[in-house]
Amino acid sequence: MMRLGALTAAALAGLSATAFAADMDLPTAYPSYPTLQQEVPMELGTGWYLRGDAAFTREMTPQLFGAPGAIGTAAPQNSQLLNVGGTKNGWSLGLGFGYQFNNWIRADVTYDYRNMIRADANSGQFNCPSSTGPFDRLNPDGSTTPLGVFVQNNKCTAAQKATLTRSVFLANVYIDLGTFAGLTPYVGAGAGFSYGNTSASYNWYNASDGSVYGPTLTFPSGYPPTLYAFDNLGRPIAATPINYGVQNRAQVSSGGSYAFAWALMAGFAYQLTDRAKIDIGYRYLNMGNTSKTPGSKALTSNEVRVGFRYAID
């Protein structure tokens, strides 16, 4: 009887413990905690691209003079207008980089090198003093009387050259107008500066062999300053004043100037790959005045441009 009571008590104790555990809702497993993730560096953003462009241009060109007049405000003595300016064909090559902010706005910075404008001219042949010496009169008694200075002339030509090189730096902003069948039309504007460098030269050359003219003319001591000139065939010609010493007709000079430049653009881009686009467009470019060229107006250009843009991130 006592044995039965003990078993009954043990069973009741077990039931009580189970009920207590159920009432407390004790966990049957350890809770899980989130694991630490490796920190990912923040990106500055994508959208950077490189670009390269080539253009056929129809542009207004300045007047160019030979010799230092190309660097001043008027034509120099003995020089001539080598070209009259006007509209001419040309080309340009450009490089740049930019950033695509979103599907609508992008901007870039570009540098363009433009073809050299060159003009030259050669004069006809003219008399140029090549040597000097004493000029005497032979008297009947065989003596001589100093009369003046004998001036022997040869034939020369004058050559004049002038060049203008230009570079353009622009900061540009574009609005892309949406994409249709892979084509993205756009409009844009840019502002910056242009740099023009003008150089000019003027010199005389011996017509007989093309060598640079540069004899040394001396005054014969004890003779009157009267000049008696003769051409290359020994015929008398009108004498013109000369400067004694080394004859150097070379004149060379150069100079550069900066000017405000601006541009308006329109065109379209076509997606070639996920990174590359071809860009075809029109640009009106105003390069400002080149102050080192006399009589010039603002240099302007109408351009058809073909370029490539390549996304680098």
- The yes-or-no verdict on residue 41 having pLDDT over 50 is no
Tens of pLDDT, residue by residue over 253-304, are: 788 889 999 999 999 999 999 999 999 999 999 998 876 655 456 789 999 9
According to the 3-state scheme, what is the secondary structure of 73-111?
Answer: CCCCCCCCEEECCEEEEEEEEEEEEEEECCCCEEEEEEE
Say what the pLDDT of residue 7 is.
42
111 or 16: which leads in pLDDT = 111
pLDDT confidence of 120, banded at 50, 70, 90? confident
Confidence at 158, pLDDT banded by 50, 70, 90: confident
Q: Which two tokens stand for residue 20?
A: 């207590």
Q: Using the 8-state DSSP alphabet, how is residue 68 labeled? A: G
Please report, rounded to a whole number, the percentage of residues in the chain having pLDDT higher than 70: 76
Neighbouring CB atoms inside 10 A of 119's CB total 22
Q: Which of the four pLDDT bands, split at 50, 70 and 90, describes residue 44?
A: very low
- The token duo for 165 is 């090189």
* pLDDT (0 to 100) of residue 296: 53
Give the chain's domains with CATH numbers: 48-311 (2.40.160.20)
Q: Return the ∠ at Cα 293 (arms to 288 and 299), rounded to 5°.
A: 30
Using DSSP bridges, classify how beta strands 144-176 and 227-230 pair: parallel, antiparallel or unpaired: parallel
- Cβ-based burial of 274 (10 A; exposed 0-12, middle 13-18, buried ≥19): exposed
State the amino acid at position 122 in one-letter form. Answer: N
Q: Which two tokens stand for residue 27?
A: 């966990």
* Dist CA 123 CA 137 (whole Å): 36
